């Protein structure tokens, strides 16, 4: 039961992290389509 609980927490946190990443990515793309680093990588990938 302990292992299942831990796995569930990990899955929930992973899902939450993905939701945050997606919302930030869409927000940054909407607000700043020009926001790319000199290397060509989007800025929001450097933030995480």
pLDDT of 17 reads 92
Tens-digit pLDDT profile for residues 17-46: 999 889 888 887 776 655 555 555 555 555
Per the listing, tokens 């993905």 go with: 18
Tokens of 27: 């927000």
Rg (CA), the chain: 15
DSSP 8-state class, residue 40:
S
CB 35 within 8 A of CB 28: yes
CB 44 within 8 A of CB 24: yes
pTM, whole model, 2 decimals? 0.48
């Amino acid at each position: 039961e302990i292992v299942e609980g831990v796995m569930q927490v990990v899955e929930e946190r992973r899902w939450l992290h993905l939701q945050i990443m997606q919302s930030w990515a869409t927000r940054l793309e909407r607000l700043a389509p020009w926001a790319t680093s000199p290397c060509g990588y989007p800025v929001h990938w450097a933030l995480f």
